[in-house]
A and B are shown apart, each in its own frame.
Chain A
Amino acid sequence: MRKTPPPTFWRRLSQVLFLVLFLVLFVQTDYQGKDELSGAINLLFRIDPLIGLSVSLTARSFVVLIAPSMFLLLSCFLAGRWFCGWACPMGTLLDASNPLVGSRKDNIPRPISKIRHGLLVIIFVGALFGLPLVGYFDPFAILVRGLTMSIYPAFSMAVEQLFTLTYQHGPPWLNFATEPLYRILRDHILPFEQKIFTLALPAAIILLTVFLMELFQRRFFCRNICPLGALLGMAARLAPWRIRNRQPGCRACGGCSEICRTGAIDDLGRVSNERCILCLDCLQQCPNHHFDFGRAKRASAAASEGLSRRALIGTIAAGIAVPFLFAVRPLRRHPEARLLRPPGARPEGEFLGRCVRCGECMQVCIGNALHPTFAEAGVEGMFTPRLIPRIGYCEYQCTLCGQVCPTGAIERLPASKKQKVVIGRAFIDRNRCLPYAKGIPCIVCEEHCPTPQKAIRFRSEKIENEQGTVIEVKQPYVIDSLCIGCGICENKCPLPGKSAILVTSAGESRHTSFGLNESSYIDPEYH
């Protein structure tokens, strides 16, 4: 007779399936041959109650987009932190990488494990008072950002280079084998175009740090830092279904306490449901089979953890005070002129509050136009999307970034509306533009301008060129009322180095005091 699989088998199977689903959704977060996407990685963020609550606090109304997250929270009220053990892709990857990294079993000072509660409080208070922090600590944001900005592009680069080598220098018999393989990879796994990102390294370092923390402890991040885990843990305190030890203090061999990956079992074999992620290791490994999963009386819950009253009040006070320090910098009034936000982005304050820095818009952006901001929007704006036209331009008919944004920081707009959203306006630098500066024909910008009536037009002028001959050249100029700042002109300008036509955020329509009017020569003011 075949043995029935151990309980951990089902947990592992679930982890693998959710991870595969996650990776499939991630790779799918790309143009799929139609204007509308079907299925993208934003699903993950929409079930995340940490993001759901903090974004709702920022918006001061319930954000419907993230309604599904309430179901996850509800399920934790019933069955504890099942999500952390059975589904979370970050947790699964940490479990998978643990054998590679290996954990020393150092004693971690107890206060460390309170970090997560502190973060949870400060994230919520900060969200309420205008300091958006959730994106820097939410596990999905860290993971998707790291994958989008560094791991996936680097993987693609490595594969492309390998197959370019075999294609260009390999013998035919080798290509006979490698080319079909390359075609499969290219069609199903690799991105369509190699992407590059401004903050590829920081995003990778943050993600790798989470993995390196496994050195200290198994699931170090989940136990001590993850604010989502802390939130689900608080719900789990009330959960009636949980892992029980039927005979606490049995022989006190301590084996269960040793093997528990989240430190949920104390020396007496009591289970803290706030920490337990239902991995079922104890069920399987207790020599006396003392553990089981079932309905428990609430009274048996171990002493709940959390911040002391003093720490709680201190954290809340800090959460209230710090946002005001951020508010007194000039960039709140005089934003960086070259900071272009994606089309449909909400007004800056609200945008920063809603954006969870997940990088999904950058993953889906088919022009590789969206990049993580460094400090141009303040340190609290790090990793928010900005459009850098010289690297990539906003495709006129494309609306994908608004479709994938999990929190509506970038509004979902139909193409006809998106094409009217001004994200900035182009200015010609006549000192560099060839027809002006050197009397050389060009007008590549005019050729590419996608607005149907051409926001870039040209006049024919007679001009003396460097050889001293008078020739007639076509000189481009921008019509402000038609320019939407897509940046294709700056992108395609054939000058080496800096473009001779530059897009600045002047006149962007999200700042309604300016709207679509003509006064684009004055700095837009934040309201």
Chain B
Amino acid sequence: MDHNMDRRRFLRDAAAWSLSFSLILHWPFPFRIDHAEAVGRPTPPFQTRVGIGKGANYPQLVRRVIALIGGMEAFVRPGMRVVIKPNISFDRPPEMGATTHPMVVRTLAEMAVEAGADQVTIFDRTCNEARRCYHTSGILPAIEAMNSSTIRCEYIDGRKFVQVDIPEGRSLKNWTIYRDALEADCYINVPVAKQHGLAGLSLGLKNNMGVLGGNRGRLHRKLDQNLADLATIIRPTLTVIDATRMLLRNGPQGGRLEDVLINNTVIASADPLAADACATELFGQSPDQVGATVSAAAMNLGTLQMDRISRIEWP
């Protein structure tokens, strides 16, 4: 019995200590009832910064755009485990605009290492056969060519999906999510901007589906709300939208160059919704036309109002 009591006391003491520490760290208690400015949400009272750049030299373009919003050092601190989540969902070459451009992914990985990341992992749960997608998209060859032990482009390991509760979810209450995405110190979401039959556009929120396990097709029944619910759990530190090529029609797979607009644009922001909103405008649509973004904004997951977004452009 004594033995048992010891463990119980230990747990109680540990709980008390950690509670008091966390209370001290949070001083002065910023808890507010007003949800619009809840703690930890990327909606500060000031303007949200979104970097937008244009240029045909993609490594330079990515570096410039990240610099506009504070540089990679603002997101990656030394020793961090970084996850870069591009869109590798389909077996299409980069010029088809269905997957994130390999040079964008590669440059971000380089920048993360330069900022001191211990480990950079790149992955996506593909729709087509994984190896074909990784190779055809050019992302795996681009990463392998770097020959770096810090940067790894990995296939999904089925053992790593864990059941996750989504307490704030309005439609989606739980799902299996890839452990590496949840455990990353810094999660960089790198969608490619493209048209999507059901979602309207596939941007940052839609790209989050690539870390989900299970039968993802089921999410389509309430896709907009489900994507918003998902965004309460998967919170990218940084969203970089690849609009170097924009698939305008027959998305999300495409397959015809006629449907691709070469736009040489990259958008980056710490606020996932602000980034999506700016990308929506590239398609000539207004941000409130994309259901998922609207649903997420209704849950205060970011900024959608263009007057509260400060666009910092280069050149």
Contacts and interface: CB of A to CB of B under 8 A. Distances in A.
| Count class of interface residues, chain B | 20 to 34
Interface in A360-391: 366-367
A458 B131 contact: no
A441 B198 contact: yes
Contact of A452 (B129, B218, B221, B256): B256
Contacts of A168: 159
Interface in B213-229: 215-218, 220-223
B131 A33 contact: yes
Interface stretch (B67-75, B235-243, B247-255): B247-255
Given A167-B159, A366-B132, A453-B250, A474 B197 contact: yes
Given A397-B136, A398-B132, A447 B197 contact: yes
Contacts of B256: 452-453
**Among B127, B129, B252, B255: residue with most chain A CB under 10 A:** B129
Contacts of A440: 221
A397 B90 CA distance: 11
Given A366-B129, A367-B129, A447 B196 contact: yes
A248 interface: no
B308 interface: no
Interface in A388-424: 395-398
Interface in A408-450: 434, 440-444, 446-450
B221 A395 contact: no
A447 B217 CA distance: 10
A161 to B, nearest CB: 10
A441 B221 contact: yes
Nearest to B96: A452
A164 interface: yes
Contacts of A492: 127, 217
B220 A366 contact: no
A31 B217 contact: no
Nearest to B256: A452
B135 interface: yes
Given A31-B132, A474-B197, A444 B250 contact: no
A446 B198 CA distance: 9
A397 B220 contact: no
Given A164-B159, A397-B136, A434-B221, A443 B198 contact: yes
A329 B220 CA distance: 45
A494 interface: yes
B89 to A, nearest CB: 10
A192 interface: yes
Given A164-B159, A192-B131, A452-B256, A447 B250 contact: no
A332 interface: no
Contacts of B135: 33-34
B236 to A, nearest CB: 23
Interface string B251-287: 0111110010000000000000000000000000000
A449 B253 contact: yes
Contacts of B180: none
Nearest to B252: A447
Contact of A395 (B129, B196, B222, B259): B129
A444 B220 contact: yes
Contacts of B90: 450
Contacts of B252: 447
B250 to A, nearest CB: 5
A338 interface: no
Contacts of A31: 129, 131-132
Given A442-B217, A453-B250, A493-B217, A395 B132 contact: yes
A474 B253 contact: no
Interface string B174-204: 0000000000000000000000111000000
A451 interface: yes
B128 interface: yes
A511 interface: no
B249 to A, nearest CB: 9
Contacts of A493: 217
A11 interface: no
A78 B218 CA distance: 65
Given A164-B159, A397-B132, A448 B127 contact: yes
Nearest to B258: A452
B124 interface: no
B226 to A, nearest CB: 11
Contacts of B127: 448, 492
Nearest to A448: B127
A454 interface: yes
B95 interface: no
A53 B256 CA distance: 45
Contacts of A442: 198, 217, 220-221
Contact of B198 (A163, A396, A447, A454): A447
Interface string A116-143: 0000000000000000000000000000
A391 to B, nearest CB: 14
B220 A441 contact: yes
A449 B252 CA distance: 9
Nearest to B136: A397
A50 B218 CA distance: 50
29 contacts: A34-B135, A192-B130, A192-B131, A367-B129, A395-B91, A395-B128, A395-B129, A396-B91, A396-B128, A397-B91, A397-B132, A440-B221, A441-B222, A441-B223, A442-B217, A443-B197, A443-B198, A443-B220, A446-B198, A447-B196, A447-B220, A447-B252, A449-B253, A450-B128, A450-B253, A451-B255, A452-B255, A454-B250, A474-B197
Interface of A: 31, 33-34, 163-164, 167-168, 192, 366-367, 395-398, 434, 440-444, 446-454, 458, 474, 492-494
